[in-house]
Amino acid sequence: MARWGMVIDLDRCTGCAACEVACKSENNIPTVSPDQANMGRAMNWMKVTAELEGEFPDTTMHFYPRPCMHCDNPPCIRVCPVQATYIDDEGIVGQIYPRCIGCRYCANACPYMVKYFNWYGPEWAESERQHLNPDVSVRPKGVIEKCTLCHHRLQKAREDARAEERELREQDYQPACAEICPTGAIVFGDLDNPSHRVASLKEDPRAMRLMEDLGTQPKVYYLRPRE
């Protein structure tokens, strides 16, 4: 069974945020009004956060592109009263939008703050509806959403592979963020499959996971920047 995960090389990441926008485009993530955005209601399944340290001119800055960590031991799913968030056999942590009651408990339980709530129903200008991705459902108001590892791409890739009667290959299933990254900082694949690049990259001495001490066992690894 595959165990999908990501390795993000902070040494390569330039903080350009192409991954963030690609994710929004791929997953029909609605935008909110400027006022709402400034209230903290903008949605970014992938969020490139910046960490600025030191004082001028001895400053350093790192960018952390942050999707859902798809924890192997996800604290978010245990607290959900209706099992509207779950982890599947391949380790993808998903949301069941039609079941979610919108209590936001999972959002509070996630230490990585990756869950986003639909405070209002999603809105697009009529013309903008044309660029919605038909593979991804639009979330109604009042439910939680987050990075799905572009699960719809897995489903498609799997159908294609089945139709062609072959195994799923590494390049068949790549999420939108990994695909667009201009520096190749995001590498995606099956962490348990030695032929996938992530399997060896995660053993790199620079590899770490966020807040590893919490025991959440994220499947998103980061490679520390080289000094």
Partner 1 sequence: MRQDVKEKMARMSADEQVLLRPLVETSRGFYIVAAILTAITLLGVISYYLQVSFGLGRTGLNRPGYWGIYIICFVFFIGISHAGTLISAILRVSKAEWRRSITRSAELITVLVIGFGAIQPIIDLGRPDRVLNVMLHAQMLSPLLWDVTSIGLYFISCTIYLYVPLLPDLAIIRDSGIKAPRFYRFLAAGYRDTPAQRARLERVIGVLSIVVIPIAVSVHTVIGWIFAMTLRPMWHSTIFGPYFVMGAIYSGIAAILVAMVVLRRAFGLQQYFKLIHFDYLGRLLLLFSLLWFYFTFAEYLTAFYGGEPGEMRAFWAKLTGPFAIPFWTMVMGCFVVPLALMSRQSMRTPRGTLIAGIAVMIGMWLERFNIVVPTSVNPRWEIEAIGRYVPSWIELSIMAATFSGFILLYMVATKFVPIVSIWEIKEGREHSVREVADRVAEYLPAGELAAAAEDK
Partner 2 sequence: MRPSRREFLWTMGAAAATVALKGTQDVFWTAEESADVGWAPGIEERRNSACLICPSRCGISGRLVDGRLVRISGNPLHPLSRGGLCPRGVAGVQLLYHPERLTSPLVRAGPRGADQWEEATPDEAIARIADQLQALRAAGRPEALALAAGYSAGTMHDLWRQFLSSFGSPNYVADEYEDGTDAVMASMHGIQRRPSYDLDRARLVLSFGAPLFESWWSPLQAFVAFASPDEDEGPRPRFVQVDARFSRTASRAHEWVGVRPGTHAVLALGIAYVLIRDELFDADFVARHVSGFEDFVDADGQPREGYRSLVTRNYRTEEVSAITGVPVERITSLARAFAANRPAVAVCGTDVTFAPNGLLAGLAVHSLNVLTGSINRPGGVLFADDAPIQPLPSPVLDETARAGLAHEPVGSPRPRFGNGGEALRFAEAVAGGEAAVEALLLYYANPIASSTHPSVWREALAKIPFVVSFSPFMDETARHADVILPDLLPYERWQDAPTPVSYPYPVWGLARPLVEPREGMTHTGDAVLTVARSLGGGVGQSLPYESFELLLQQRARGLFSVRRGMTLGDEFDRKHHSQMEERGWWLPEHTEFGPFWDELVERGGWTDLFYDDTDPHRFARTESGRIELMPAALLHVLNQEGSARELYIDVAHRAGQTPAGFPLRLIPYRVSTLASGTLALERWLAEQPGIFPDVLWVPWVEVAPETARALDMGDDTDVWVVSQRGRYRARLKVSHGTAHGNVGAPYGLRHPDGTAASPLQLLDGSYDPLTGLASWLSTFVRLERA
Angstrom distances, CA of residue 5 to CA of 1, 68, 92: 13, 10, 9
Secondary structure of residue 194 in the 3-state scheme: coil
Q: Please report how close the Cβ of residue 44 comes to partner 2 at its closest, in angstroms.
A: 7
Q: Which residues pair with 4 in a beta bridge?
A: 190
Among 81, 89, 126, 167, binds partner 2 (CB under 8 A): 126
Q: Is 26 near partner 2 (CB under 8 A)?
A: yes
Q: Is 149 near ligand SF4 (CB under 6 A)?
A: yes
Tell me which residues in 15-34 interact with partner 1 (CB under 8 A).
Answer: none
Those residues whose C-beta lies under 8 Å from the C-beta of residue 196, and which sit 6 or more positions away, are 170, 189, 190
Residue window 176-195: x/- pattern of binding to partner 2, with contact defined by CB under 8 A = x--xxxxxxx----------
Instruction: Give backbone dihedrals phi and psi of 134, rounded to 5 degrees, phi first.
Output: -70, -10
Tokens of 219: 């499947």
Secondary structure of residue 151 in the 3-state scheme: helix
Among 14, 60, 99, 133, binds partner 1 (CB under 8 A): 99
Q: Binds 31, which of ligand SF4, partner 1, partner 2, none (CB < 5 to 8 A, cut-off by type)?
A: partner 2
Closer by beta carbon to ligand SF4, 186 or else 191: 186
Q: Please report how close the Cβ of residue 143 comes to partner 1 at its closest, in angstroms.
A: 6
Q: Please report how close the Cβ of residue 41 comes to partner 1 at its closest, in angstroms.
A: 5
What is the DSSP secondary-structure string of 23-87? Answer: HHHHTTPPP--HHHIIIII---SSEEEEEEES-TTS-EEEEEEE-----SS-HHHHH-TT--EEE
Q: Binds 160, which of partner 1, ligand SF4, partner 2, none (CB < 5 to 8 A, cut-off by type)?
A: none
Q: Do 122 and 31 meet the contact criterion of CB atoms below 8 Å apart?
A: no
Q: Is 118 near ligand SF4 (CB under 6 A)?
A: no
Report DSSP state, residue 196. S
Summarize as ranges the residues that interact with partner 2 (CB under 8 A). Answer: 12-18, 20-22, 24-26, 28, 31, 33-35, 37-38, 40, 42, 44, 47-50, 52-57, 59-63, 97-98, 121-122, 125-140, 176, 179-185
